[in-house]
Structure 1
Amino acid sequence: MKAIIDFLYANPIGCLASIDEDGRPHVRPWRFLLEQDGKLWFCTSNTKDVFCQIQANPAVEFCSTSQDFVTVRVSGDVIFGIDMNIKRKMLAMNDLVKSIYKTPDNPEFEIFYLKHGQAAMVDFKKEEEVALRCF
């Protein structure tokens, strides 16, 4: 799992896929923010459609690709959290998140991690799977 986490910190920008109200996939740009105690943490606003989508169907997948064509996909079920320490870390680590939410107690600021998930790392240049891990 360390290789997956290191990759995500080095390549945090990717896409998150969820299922919309009509059962159709919806993909949007997203950012991995933090690993804590084996959990991969992300955030969103509870005013966005995606928040409602993942509450209704918590199955999501996040994908990120490096410049040298290595890709990591992580999938699992969203578990929303209320840990103020995680929120503080996210705000301290990321200026964009801080500019949007300002404080950890912002009522729109939602954090979540993936549970019952899998992570796969694939090197497309070598056409091989580098790692497959469950978490």
Structure 2
Amino acid sequence: MQEVYDFLKKSGVYYLGTVDGDKPRMRPFGTVDIFDGKLYIQTGKVKDVSKQMHANPKVEICAMTGGAWIRLEGEAVLDDRPEAQEHMLEAYPGLKGRYAVGDGNTEVWYIKNATATIYANNTEPKIIKF
């Protein structure tokens, strides 16, 4: 999992895919954190992406950096503990102008049953499960 986290941090921006009814939806994200031994992302409850993950937690993340790319698939699980929210906001203090622990909008989600595949330099893909 650490290698997946490092890849996403280095990329800076990754793309999160969700399902909206029968349509795929993609959008850029930048938050990624490790807390309590799990890989986390963050969003706001008022956003469509939150509604989509609540309705169907299957997600994919894709990013590219330095000629390599990663695809991560798994299930998003909401963690409403204040400690998880605080950890994310400490990792991304710039979010504190829009989000606060326990504000009813801040959501942090961890990815479970994850399979990440890293493709690099015409080598065999590297598969990481967590």
Task: Report the equivalent of 1:52.
Answer: 51
Letter of the aligned partner of 1:14 in structure 2?
Y
Structure 1's unaligned 5+ residue stretches are none
What is the distance in 2 between the residues matched to 1:83 and 1:11? 28
Q: Quick check: 1:30 aligned with 2:46?
A: no
Q: Quick check: 1:113 aligned with 2:95?
A: no
Q: Deviations over 1:65-92 (max 9, x none)?
A: 11x2111221101100012222112111
User: RMSD value over aligned CA atoms?
Assistant: 1.6
What is the distance in 2 between the residues matched to 1:118 and 1:3? 12
Of residues 76, 79, 98, the one that matches 1:78 is: 76
Contact 1:13 1:30 survives alignment (8 Å): yes
Out of 111-120 and 87-96, give the one that drifted further. Answer: 87-96
Letter of the aligned partner of 1:15 in structure 2?
Y
Letter of the aligned partner of 1:30 in structure 2?
F
Q: Quick check: 1:133 aligned with 2:124?
A: no
How many Å apart are 1:130 and its aligned residue? 4.6
Contact 1:122 1:131 survives alignment (8 Å): yes
Letter of the aligned partner of 1:114 in structure 2?
I
Number of aligned residue pairs: give it.
130
Q: Specify the SS of the correspondent of 2:98.
A: helix
Letter of the aligned partner of 2:114 in structure 1?
G
Letter of the aligned partner of 1:117 in structure 2?
A
Normalising by structure 2, we get a TM-score of: 0.90
Contact 2:5 2:32 survives alignment (8 Å): no
Identity across the alignment (%) = 28
